[in-house]
Chains A and B, each alone.
Chain A
Amino acid sequence: AQSVTQLDSHVSVSEGTPVLLRCNYSSSYSPSLFWYVQHPNKGLQLLLKYTSAATLVKGINGFEAEFKKSETSFHLTKPSAHMSDAAEYFCVVTRTNTGNQFYFGTGTSLTVIP
């Protein structure tokens, strides 16, 4: 079975400081992992994806994530937060060989303080 745990329900950072959103995964198979962002009253936008290629994945808007198999983690980072980064972030896992069903975490709400 696949699942993800987002370790923080809320994260608050000051503008210009680093962002770290934590995600641990559980998968019986080789996983594919994704991070999505959701702004208020909007759908979800793909930030980045890991599909068993390079373990350090770069995404849009300066975000990146590192796949660490030994720690079963896929944490999302950004060197410098911008006000527009304030949103809900979801970590997602699926099975690499089928990709049929995506399993979402419960989300992390990011607040950026000016």
Chain B
Amino acid sequence: DAGVTQSPTHLIKTRGQQVTLRCSPKSGHDTVSWYQQALGQGPQFIFQYYEEEERQRGNFPDRFSGHQFPNYSSELNVNALLLGDSALYLCASSYSTGRNSPLHFGNGTRLTVT
């Protein structure tokens, strides 16, 4: 039973560029959440997708956008990259909300913006 998989594992981009990160949820999960974890900090909630729609969003600018596909996989897109976007981006999957389903995390994508 595959867990949450994320790709790529590492990425280096230049300021102003755009990046797409990908996530496949754990088998049987239908909800995907994205988190940003800066060095030495706890994960910060970016947004959550369910039924191909954004259900809730954290305090992140519109440069951060996402998508969920019919197979429940998801993408995180970041436009006009800033140096401050350098972080570990974590994808987490769970069952439909309202069931106290814990989050299952992937190993993350390490994004470095130079």
Binding site for B on A (CB under 8 A): 32, 34, 36, 41-46, 49, 51, 90, 94, 96-107
Contacts and interface: CB of A to CB of B under 8 A. Distances in A.
Interface residues of B: mostly helix, strand, loop or mixed?
A: loop
B100 A102 contact: no
10 contacts: A42-B108, A43-B90, A44-B90, A51-B100, A90-B43, A100-B55, A101-B45, A102-B33, A104-B43, A105-B42
Interface residues of B, number: 29
Interface residues of A: mostly helix, strand, loop or mixed?
A: loop
Contacts of A103: 45
B114 interface: no
A105 B97 CA distance: 21
B66 interface: no
Question: For B44, B48, B98, which residue has the most chain A Cβ atoms within 10 angstroms?
Answer: B98
Interface in B82-114: 90, 92, 94, 97-108, 110
B113 to A, nearest CB: 18
